[in-house]
Structure 1
């Protein structure tokens, strides 16, 4: 099947004349796994377990051993080469991802979020996928459109949904301004030298192209489909300098990525541009072509609310029309909780990606530098509904603690495990992520305790399959081992989450604790640090699951923990369903009449317990 050059070439009738994979009944039941396709797998690994549970004997890349750490940075020259490799395509493919669906299934993942797969500007190293040149094709470095279909089909066959990362705020660096370099936003429209050709030179006219006159424009020049080549597709106002200034943050370019003009008007009177209508058709095509289950929408903050509302409505209607009643739209909305939930309510997006407050509070509560109330209060909106616990947030926010951008950390990017001793606390941070409200999302490599850190994004985007930019400063070693303790504890916690609906959908309460059994209060920092049991309950249909982590990585901690007064008679017992200390499994604690009702819990150092 040839790549279409125009939206008019698409045959939606034949694309939609089939049965599609149904949506999940409840997205809060799912566990997402976000992977950067270029950094995940090239399919050439040795000795990993395949989708059918068999050990693969072939392949060229051996499994990482602890002695391989630093094998790519032994000298200053090697270290420089390793760092340089981090800004280029490394070689991950859709076929590689397809070969690792079983690895993800056994981990307990039920939905994969894939970084953008669309064709990138050929002359640039936008391995991350956010520099699109052709919105109707897959980048050949990742594979083909049929490869995408095969990934989705394999995922569906293994009970895994697929969410695709999409962009309609901007395109890649497809044209050059007439000024030298990239002009800075000042509110005016800048003249354009021309569309870039395959070599990146602006030699093509800035208009809809006639291929009989400019045959070199296909497939690597200008922008495609043809409907996007109209000059009024772009705002042409130069790059953003002030990321919160209106209208600069709405109309400016993301550095060299060119801002798209979406339309005009207020939220309720918004008139979509021809380009926005075309973009909606593009993404309807991908839903139908690949049988996708959801979109993660990039840079929602930088688009007019009316544009996002229009897109959400059109996509949801199309998805429903083909039987996907709960196609999920997750928006990347920077600017804090208030902006995120306001945007959800006004635009019709299903959920916000929690990339501001949630990762900060998740990570640093576990490490002992945030009050527990700072995290648990993120799931409340007492100003509006004046309640202490809210199931409403269970499917309206995607929670995570590591991601590919880490906007919150500025120029000091670092994964959770980068801090000394943090590996001992990985069970606690996973438990806080997957056993509290929201739709949990794990960032690739977390299950192998990746420890990337550095001055920019590249250091938190290590390669899982080796190549020239492997994790732990290595090269040519892969990390698809299922014996890693981090992988095993994640698999155990996710299995527990699947088994108990309270851990997925229940109301949530941070619980008071006591050292002496008589004086109770919420756990909090003392002297700028907290080393304590931090317990919370999930309540669903008269059942309570009691979870607790220990923010002390060195010593076990014991505390009396308040539980629901009405559900538990004095003298009844709770049973340990999970503990990072295996000797606690299936042991029981007795309910006593303290602060209403309470039980005495001991939580291992840096560990987790779950009782029911």
Structure 2
């Protein structure tokens, strides 16, 4: 039985063991993000286990593109599939543990696992962001011991584990009086007022439990599926109670309001200076330190940091970093979801002490559309360097301050037009180059589950970009009961080569980066740019330089034909008559090809890049 209060936790046995140390540098890692409900249910067959041996004992066969794509069929088939996507579909921690070998061979070195904490009982918050008990694991996902087993298995394979956590809000744990869904800015009340509350919700979503410290003798049904736990969160002052956010950038509305029916927790004032933590914030700090000690975790991804404020974020970061360091985890990773422009994200990282930001300045849109020819390359590359942000004359490289990715589970910037990278604009042609761009440019790269299997995620809303990797009732590519753990697919195979290359060459992980000028005639050079108002079809090259070693990478934004260009390289590191050797190419037979350095625009080489592909030279 899980504890009802953090004060009941006996820490001593948890601390009497050797903990997994942190990596030296998180920018050396390749993160893989998954939602437990959508990844694996441990019933698959025709996949390879942790040792690479075939597994044929399960009930779910492997997906066959020729037979299973768009295979819903029959009356009501599509509707049933679509409806299933809004509910739990069956993925769990045991399933994730069984696929550690699949991730290891892909080249993954850290797993970011979506929230696993106990959810409100009366809603299908399969995504994990509707927490009702911060000290227990959601039964759909498994048990505490399943979490510990998964982490231990990952560590045995050299893979770190980052857990997605929530501080800003709980699930739908109480009901407002009268109006069940008031807004912070309503028509008939003062903005930002505290609303009256009917009570804590029971297991059926009815507000039958008085809000305040729960008396289990009078309301025994409150545990485990009613109210909110641990008990230290239950006083009415533990929540702001000011209704839902309507204006997502209005201060203080975005700091005090609820996320729809997810209830805002009172963490304290937003300002970092002279901050005083609330009881709720202290309770959550203790709860998450418990999980670090219990499961030997290596990092947290913190949800909705923008809506917490710098004061609570700094307090949490300081507490967690100190505790993790006491366990030998000197570089425990804290990644904050910081929506908004780059300056806000960078300032949040600097002022709060979290390690990195996720989702800054629409980085995913810039990355995705740059390789498809719809965004200026310099807009993406400038995300990682700007002396003005740090008040210095020289460049500061944000090599480990940003987590970068292509696909994700929210795609906030796409509004109601959500779909994965591979859905449109020849995405399946570009996907290897796009992942290479993610892996070989600055930042901590992250792959969203299924991207390595060309998932398309078309449908418009969140659920369609959260397909079940294991099939079930909401399988990928509009299918059911067929899994996609296929290590023979082209994209999986190429990504595993790219991650191996990244591990082999230090400049690809830690080097400074420079978008390189190109030329069609070897005389007139300029940075790649959109001369056409519609699309940029060209060679897009960049260098990574570390300790006097240069690696030259280039993608082709033209998916129909190969592109050629003279590409500038570093004139101090490369001499005329030197040669660069190709160490990766999406063109068969391209590896091993050599190009000669010539005295054009300082120093340049002539590159040919396959259609929609990538080359890497050393």
2:31 equivalent to 1:32: yes
**How far has the Cα of 1:216 moved from its partner?**
0.9
Q: Partner residue of 1:552?
A: 558
Matches within 5 A, 1:40-51: 40-51=39-50
Report the more deviating stretch, 531-540 or 196-205: 196-205
2:379 equivalent to 1:374: yes
**How far has the Cα of 1:382 moved from its partner?**
3.6
Q: Partner residue of 1:205?
A: 210
Q: Partner residue of 2:501?
A: 496
Contact 1:389 1:507 in 2 (8 A): no
2:349 equivalent to 1:344: yes
Helix, strand or coil at the partner of 1:416:
coil
CA distance in 2, matches of 1:493, 1:18: 36
CA distance in 2, matches of 1:82, 1:132: 26
1:8-65 Cα shifts (integer Å, max 9, x gaps): 1111122112110000000000000000110000000011001111100110111000
**How far has the Cα of 1:363 moved from its partner?**
0.5
TM-score, normalization: structure 2? 0.97
Helix, strand or coil at the partner of 1:454:
coil
Q: Partner residue of 2:313?
A: 308
2:286 equivalent to 1:287: no
**How far has the Cα of 1:383 moved from its partner?**
2.2
Helix, strand or coil at the partner of 1:308:
helix
CA distance in 1, matches of 2:565, 2:358: 34
1:72-127 Cα shifts (integer Å, max 9, x gaps): 53356211111111100000000000000000000000000000000000110000
**How far has the Cα of 1:498 moved from its partner?**
0.2
Q: Partner residue of 1:278?
A: 283
Q: Partner residue of 1:173?
A: 172
Q: Indicate which of 434, 440, 443 corresponds to 1:438.
A: 443
Q: Partner residue of 1:258?
A: 263
CA distance in 2, matches of 1:487, 1:225: 42
CA distance in 2, matches of 1:10, 1:244: 39
**How far has the Cα of 1:516 moved from its partner?**
0.8
CA distance in 2, matches of 1:491, 1:76: 40
Helix, strand or coil at the partner of 1:84:
helix
Helix, strand or coil at the partner of 2:284:
helix
2:62 equivalent to 1:63: yes
Helix, strand or coil at the partner of 1:610:
strand
Helix, strand or coil at the partner of 2:363:
helix
Q: Indicate which of 500, 509, 514 corresponds to 2:514.
A: 509
2:537 equivalent to 1:531: yes
CA distance in 2, matches of 1:534, 1:309: 39
1:426-464 Cα shifts (integer Å, max 9, x gaps): 111011100000000000000000001222101100000
**How far has the Cα of 1:401 moved from its partner?**
1.2
Contact 2:360 2:402 in 1 (8 A): no
Q: Aligned pair count?
A: 611
CA, structure 1 residues 209+139, in 2 after alignment: closer, same or farther (shift >3 Å)? same
Contact 2:387 2:395 in 1 (8 A): no
Helix, strand or coil at the partner of 2:473:
coil
Contact 1:356 1:408 in 2 (8 A): no
2:534 equivalent to 1:522: no
Contact 1:331 1:352 in 2 (8 A): yes
Q: Indicate which of 560, 572, 575 corresponds to 1:566.
A: 572
CA distance in 1, matches of 2:207, 2:616: 60
**How far has the Cα of 1:71 moved from its partner?**
4.6
Report the more deviating stretch, 39-48 or 69-78: 69-78
| Structure 2 runs not aligned, ≥5 long | 185-190
Contact 2:581 2:593 in 1 (8 A): yes
Q: Partner residue of 1:608?
A: 614
CA, structure 1 residues 504+36, in 2 after alignment: closer, same or farther (shift >3 Å)? same
Report the more deviating stretch, 180-189 or 251-260: 180-189
Contact 2:372 2:425 in 1 (8 A): no
Q: Partner residue of 2:135?
A: 136
| Structure 1 runs not aligned, ≥5 long | none
Q: Partner residue of 2:187?
A: none
Contact 1:402 1:415 in 2 (8 A): yes
Helix, strand or coil at the partner of 1:20:
coil
Helix, strand or coil at the partner of 2:211:
coil
Contact 1:330 1:349 in 2 (8 A): yes
2:463 equivalent to 1:464: no
Matches within 5 A, 1:38-437: 38-75=37-74, 77-185=76-184, 186-264=191-269, 266-354=271-359, 356-384=361-389, 392-437=397-442
Contact 1:51 1:103 in 2 (8 A): yes
1:202-233 Cα shifts (integer Å, max 9, x gaps): 11111111212111111101111111111111
CA, structure 1 residues 162+265, in 2 after alignment: closer, same or farther (shift >3 Å)? closer
**How far has the Cα of 1:287 moved from its partner?**
0.3
Q: Indicate which of 586, 590, 593 corresponds to 1:584.
A: 590
Helix, strand or coil at the partner of 2:293:
helix
CA, structure 1 residues 456+76, in 2 after alignment: closer, same or farther (shift >3 Å)? farther
Contact 1:41 1:92 in 2 (8 A): yes
CA distance in 1, matches of 2:397, 2:119: 38
CA, structure 1 residues 583+387, in 2 after alignment: closer, same or farther (shift >3 Å)? farther
Report the more deviating stretch, 413-422 or 27-36: 413-422
1:333-360 Cα shifts (integer Å, max 9, x gaps): 0012111001111101100002542101
**How far has the Cα of 1:389 moved from its partner?**
8.9
**How far has the Cα of 1:584 moved from its partner?**
1.3
CA distance in 2, matches of 1:515, 1:143: 58
Contact 2:384 2:398 in 1 (8 A): yes
- The RMSD of aligned alpha carbons is 1.3
Helix, strand or coil at the partner of 2:566:
strand
